[in-house]
Structure 1
């Protein structure tokens, strides 16, 4: 059993990203990246996402803005898909990406809009099954 921060982080990680994603991540963990998986579960999810100051929707939107601004497109796609669990809407994401366009730059927002559009289209198709 891991410490309480890890366990709390794992619960939030599962709630936000979904059980299937987290299960895959943990099953694919090797000796090489085990410490990294522990670090992100404990610190990102356990220390930050469990704090009482912001709700999941707000944290989700901040994360999306930061990922779009820094060009971390794989993680951006993951967190766009997680909006189905955080309460952030497509309109919320649109507003955040417009902020990114002005404060970070049009190329970053352009890439993020393309990724968001694709992610929301895929989620809509998945929801109609």
Structure 2
């Protein structure tokens, strides 16, 4: 796969997982200084890693929650909780992943991951409720 194909595949996957609006904001905030970095993230993280076929997007989302939660990267963790939900991960699966993270990475990492996940889930559920058609 050429770099351009890998970049384009990565860009589509990135938009699918974290949302096109988020990707556009990331590029906009990066400006000229950070554009090369955003291109690198898109091509290699999203195209080169997420673009592989052995794991599903759902599998990769669960892995990211455990890894990013362990690292304590709050903003990225929040983003990837939303991505996991977009990829069909259930609330129960998120909970079990965070319990697993807590045991293997430490309770403080788990406390922070649960706190952030609860915030994201509350926002996600509120947004979902507001977008559902009213019955009556």
**TM-score normalised according to structure 2 size:** 0.90
Structure 2: how far apart are the matches of 1:85 and 1:105? Answer: 27
Q: Report deviation, 1:82.
A: 1.2
Structure 2: how far apart are the matches of 1:11 and 1:85? Answer: 14
Q: Which runs of 4+ in 1 moved over 4 A?
A: none
Structure 2: how far apart are the matches of 1:30 and 1:125? Answer: 32
- Structure 2 unaligned regions, length at least 5: 131-136
Q: Report deviation, 1:59.
A: 0.1
User: How many residues matched?
Assistant: 128
- Structure 1 unaligned regions, length at least 5: none
Partner of 2:87: 86
Structure 2: how far apart are the matches of 1:97 and 1:51? Answer: 25
Partner of 2:69: 68
Structure 2: how far apart are the matches of 1:50 and 1:97? Answer: 25
Partner of 1:33: 34
Structure 1: how far apart are the matches of 2:72 and 2:29? Answer: 25
Structure 1: how far apart are the matches of 2:114 and 2:75? Answer: 13
1:24 and 2:25 matched = yes
Look up the SS of the partner of 1:51 in the other structure: coil
Look up the SS of the partner of 2:30 in the other structure: coil
Encode CA deviations 1:14-42: one digit per residue, 9 max, x unaligned: 11111111122222231111111011000
